[in-house]
Structure 1
Amino acid sequence: MLSEQPYPVGTRVVVQGKRGPEVAKVRGEATVPEPQARYGAVLRAATPEDLTRWEDLHRQGEDLKWLLRARARERQLPVKLVAVEFTLDESLVTVSYSAEDRIELSSLIGELRKHTRARVNFAAIGPREQAQMIGTLGACGRENCSSTHLQDFAPVSIRMARDQQLPLNPEKLSGPCGRLLCCLQFEHTQYVDLLKDLPRKNAKVCHEGSGACGKVTKLHPLSGTVDVHTDQGMLLGIPASELKRLPDAPAPKPKRDQPEA
């Protein structure tokens, strides 16, 4: 799917977008292998005519966005119109919007028909897609991943933060969109592999060298060590390879004269 011809970083090219041909800028080498690329194939280098047409279509889309916003307010439609975008061949115009409930927007199609003959597509988007289209800065100080290289949004769960031993602070784990950070998924598989060699938290262990025993209180997957709170009240950082794991104590059997909970 990706063009074999190399284009320098910063070059404007015509690519096969999600809905049709678009103008894009080369930002670096492709990170998605060719068989896995769903879209983004470079069709050719953008010509001056392509760039002029793309700029005109962008201005037209911006004008239509503000027009539709005004018409939506007049009709008291509970909707947020995020963007109006044309394909380079002007065969399709996509109106991206967000709304809390299902909403009928067919009344706005007539407004679009007055200004374009392109086929109209209304696309409901979520917070992540809004951040992708608008563009924001992440906690790292760089552009958010969704606006730079992500083609699709993979599911992100709080379990990924737990596996990476991150503090479960919603403010630190959420991106500008208010959802869990997309970057939590990038290294998750590596952390899962590292955790396989570590005892679980709260496990009873003994240090083979000193003989000190205690309970695991914290894991450090990258260094391969764990914090152990010993029976003598000390907190030790010990390599997992030097620990012997003790079997868990069996759960007490319920008394016969008392029913099980």
Structure 2
Amino acid sequence: MVVLPVRFERSPRLHAMLSAEPHAVGSRVVVQGKRGPEVATVRGEAGPPDEQARYGAVLRAATPEDLTRWEELYRQGEDLKWLLRARARERGLPVKIVAVEFTLDESLVTVSYSADERIELNSLIGELRAHTRARVNFAAVGPREQAQMIGALGACGRENCSSNHLQEFAPVSIRMARDQQLPLNPEKLSGPCGRLLCCLQYEHGQYLDLLRDLPRKNARVCHEGSGACGKVVKLHPLAGTVDVQTEQGMLGGVPAAELTRAPEATPGKGRRAEAEA
């Protein structure tokens, strides 16, 4: 027995499946997943199984009949998706039908939907009953899962990461944008899903390392070359420089190595300076 990494149609995530024999990378196989039999694509070389892990199973190599049936079910799911969207709009249901997916044996149909609040969709089951006898399962998905399933272009002009290669959604915070000195503009920091860009996490660790060698923003420093002292107003982590506002004017692009901490002010002046800052 070997373990094969496979990928389903609407997600880039790899799933480990136990197989009685290896299959070529890029080939289609029928697997027994959580929902039932489905067609998946082999995306990596076979490896040894881990006795402590739990796997799905590769049932067989997909036959031409399997692929033809899978394509028919995909088209049927797309037709039902648009039908349910129209019926939901007619009934005033605040919901977006994201995808309708069948298992290969048509025993289960999963309706993925997105809604801002909890909503009952039982009224749509009758619409499905008129077209299939499959058991119906409604699955709520979040904004990132929705972008993953539908696909979109990111600000970089490439396919969004969630539908291309991301294996999991890591937490992303506005602090990551601050550490990278990015303008805090929601339109520029949000992806197609409306949430913070997943790519903010990619270089965050490197920026943290670079920031350790720079003074903090608003810190008071002195420039060894000119002798001028002032307040750090902007950081340039990649260049290793900062901008310092002094009484004589702005010192731009000053290397951190040329700065020293400003001497402590007298108690009275220090309090007034802090109030002004």
Per chain length, whose mean CA-contact separation is higher, i.e. which structure has more relative contact order (CA < 8 Å, sep 6+)?
2
Q: Matched residues, percent identical? A: 80
* CA distance 1:145–1:13, shift in 2 (3 Å): farther
Q: For residues 209 and 14 of structure 1, do their structure 2 counterparts lie closer, same or farther at Cα, with a shift above 3 Å needed? A: farther
Are 2:4 and 2:44, in contact at CA under 8 Å, matched by a contact in 1? no
Counterpart amino acid of residue 123 in structure 2 = S
- Offset, 1:144: 0.9
User: Which 5+ residue runs of structure 1 have no aligned equivalent?
Assistant: 254-261
Q: What CA distance in whole angstroms lies between the structure 1 residues aligned with 2:77 and 2:120?
A: 21
Q: 1:107 to 1:57 in 2, by over 3 A?
A: same
Shift in Å, 1:42:
9.3
State the 1:109 CA deviation: 2.3
Change (3 A) 1:89 1:151: farther
Report whether the alignment pairs 1:157 with 2:173: yes
Question: Does 1:139 pair with 2:155?
Answer: yes
Q: Counterpart of 2:200 in structure 1: which amino acid?
A: L
Whether the 8 Å contact between 1:216 and 1:229 is mirrored in structure 2 is yes
Task: Give me the CA root mean square deviation.
Answer: 3.5
Structure 1 residues 114 and 101: CA distance shift in structure 2, 3 A: same
Equivalence for 1:191 = 207
Equivalent residues of 2:241, 2:256 under 8 A apart:
yes
The structural deviation recorded for 1:205 is 1.2
Alignment correspondent of 1:252: 271
Cα separation, partners in 2 of 1:40 and 1:96, compared to 1, 3 Å: farther
In the TM superposition, residue 83 of structure 1 has moved relative to its aligned partner by 1.2
Aligned equivalent of 2:194: 178
Pairing of 1:23-172 with structure 2 (within 5 A): 23-24=39-40, 43=58, 46-172=62-188
TM-score by length of 2: 0.73
Deviates more, 1:64-73 or 1:173-182: 64-73
Cα distance in structure 2, aligned partners of 1:128 and 1:40: 26
1:19: Cα distance to partner? Answer: 4.7
Question: Which amino acid letter does the alignment assign opposite residue 189 of structure 1?
Answer: G
Answer yes or no: is 1:239 the counterpart of 2:258: no
Does residue 221 of structure 2 align to residue 205 of structure 1? Answer: yes
- Aligned residues of 2:229 and 2:262 also touching (Cα < 8 A): no
**Shift in Å, 1:223:** 2.1
**Aligned pair in 2 of structure 1 residues 23, 252: CA closer, same or farther (>3 Å)?**
same
SS state at 2:85 partner: helix
Deviations 1:80-131, CA, capped at 9 Å, x for gaps: 2121112345443211112232111122223334433433221222332222
Q: Which structure shows the bigger proportion of residues in strand conformation?
A: 2
The 3 A distance-change label for structure 1 pair 167 and 15 is: farther
Between the aligned partners of 1:41 and 1:225, the Cα distance in structure 2 is 53
Quote the residue 2:19 is aligned against. Answer: none
- Structure 1 residues 77 and 42: CA distance shift in structure 2, 3 A: same
Over 3 Å counting, the alpha-carbon distance change for 1:234 and 1:140 in structure 2 is same
Aligned AA for 2:230? G
3-state SS of the aligned residue for 2:271? coil
**2:12 aligned residue:** none
After the TM superposition, which of the residue ranges 72-81 and 141-150 deviates more from structure 2? 72-81
Instruction: Return closer, same or farther for 1:191/1:116 CA change in 2, 3 Å cut-off.
Output: same
Q: Could you state the TM-score of these two structures normalised by the residue count of structure 1?
A: 0.77
